[in-house]
Amino acid sequence: MSLNTEKIRALVDKREEARLGGGEKRIDAQHEKGKLTARERINLLLDEGSFEEYDMFVTHRTFSFGLDKEKYYSDGVVTGRGTIDGRIVFVFSQDFTVFGGSLSETFALKICKIIDQAMKIGAPVIGLNDSGGARIQEGVRSLAGYAEIFQRNILASGVVPQISAIFGPCAGGAVYSPALTDFITMTERTSYMFVTGPKVVQTVTGEIISTEDLGGANVHATKSGITHFLTETEEEGILLIRKLISYLPQNNLEDPPVIKNTDPIDRLEDSLNEIIPDNPNKPYNVKDVIRLTVDGGDFLEIQRNYAKNIVIGFARYNGRPVGIVANQPMFLAGVLDIDASRKAARFVRFCDAFNISLVTFVDVPGFLPGSSQEYGGIIIHGAKLLYAYGEATVPKVTITLRKSYGGAHDVMSCKQLRGDMNYAWPTAEIAVMGAKGAIEVLEGRNIAKIESDEEKSKYIQAKESEYIEKFANPYQAAKYGFIDDIIEPRNTRFRIIRALEALSTKKEMNPPKKHCNIPL
């Protein structure tokens, strides 16, 4: 055997060793937990044969606590680039079979390298997280490694899309890298996130709580809103990431990919003419409106289990990706509260950062009243959504379906917040408030003077009818040019598509500044 052949053989052997991570026993243990290995996840995520690995032969640099006798190639994280549907992405996948996926100095440097490369090239970054946290044996160097990653997450924000998948533990400082990215997905039963674990919580506060109840996937999908997607399996989560990427541009200087559309742009949906109930207090499902108007009824909803009174997600009109925001009358009558405002504001800002047009369906009776909302800062949180719409320079198309009352009307992409095309259905009610509240304010003194309950009731009904006739329609707003047109509901798809096509060359700039000061 020649010297060259021996060297090549040695290279092949080292690659095989690196691909085994922490060894067969630990791989088996990973599978027994219902989890995939780091490399299995990458292979499922990327197009077949497209993965190019970086830093396969990196090892840690620690000699303390006997670590000098235990080294593994790749050092607990697999990094590299590949393609999804032919488009380049950068990926890192934490390997729980090597030191429990704990982060070392070299582990961090590997992640930093691919984020730096992604920003140079202009390609999305996908992180597959499954880590026990900082590698304690490395002390402050491990903490410094986290901070190096955080800094890159911050600089990459708004430059390239960043997506995080939590496929195992993610605790302590490790949670802040996913939190700085654009989208997070978690899996039921096998993933969790928290700053401090159950044992520390019990020691400090006396509260006894399980890992699942403290930071499980369901908690973050329903209570905190930390995760944007919840899946039953890792495979489902990875396929969801592939779908999500299909709506996004490579970077902030490109437009999202337009695909061929086979759904007729002039498709009429007669059912939309009847979808708004005659009773203004009766709900309907706004997701039906969305699915009946978008291409093929295909809508990728985001944070579906959190703040259900507002709906956000991605869809396409004539093959063009858009971000959709819609009030949901099925929950809390579609009011805006703290959680809904935060949820929608963050989504609007993401779409604006990455040149994704916004389509807004409005049916909002106002902001949720009450001391808990006021004490929780509804003013500042509601201002976030107001700010996000006003700051956005992407094409904005707004359709008012039914109620649009008070300050909430302003917040939901109104004409004065630079809405480009503002349409209304004939069922729209655009006013300062509903008839009942308005009459109580406007006619309170006159009502008080009427002694007979029957006469009082007749007077209130007459005044409410007068108010409804005057304001419970879109023609007042249209008269002042605040609504560009009143459209037949069944034509909504066609009108949105025509508006987006007209706005495809829109150019609008905000005043030059270092950065804005959004009300946080």
* From 408, 428, 435, 472, active-site residue: 408
The DSSP H or E segment spanning 93 is strand 87-94
Q: Could you tell me if 102 and 65 are in contact, meaning their C-beta atoms sit under 8 angstroms apart?
A: no
Separation CA 83–CA 478 (nearest Å): 48
Compute how many other C-beta atoms are within 10 angstroms of the C-beta atom of residue 387: 19
Secondary structure (DSSP) of 206-262? -----HHHHHBHHHIIIII---SEEESSHHHHHHHHHHHHTTS-SSTTSPPPP----
Structure tokens at 208: 């006894």
Residues, the chain: 520
* From 122, 158, 173, 225, active-site residue: 173
Could you confirm whether 172 is annotated as catalytic?
Answer: yes
DSSP 3-state of 365: coil
Q: Which of 191, 168, 193 is nearest to 178 (CA)?
A: 193
Who contacts 66 (Cβ-Cβ below 8 Å, separation ≥6)? none
* From 172, 215, 216, 366, active-site residue: 172
Cα 404 vs. chain centroid, distance in angstroms?
25
Residue 514 burial (C-beta neighbours within 10 Å; 0-12, 13-18, 19+): exposed
Separation CA 146–CA 105 (nearest Å): 9
**Strands (DSSP E) found in 45-117:** 52-54, 77-84, 87-94
Could you confirm whether 22 is annotated as catalytic?
Answer: no
Could you confirm whether 382 is annotated as catalytic?
Answer: no
The DSSP H or E segment spanning 12 is helix 3-19
List, by residue number, the catalytic residues: 172-173, 407-408
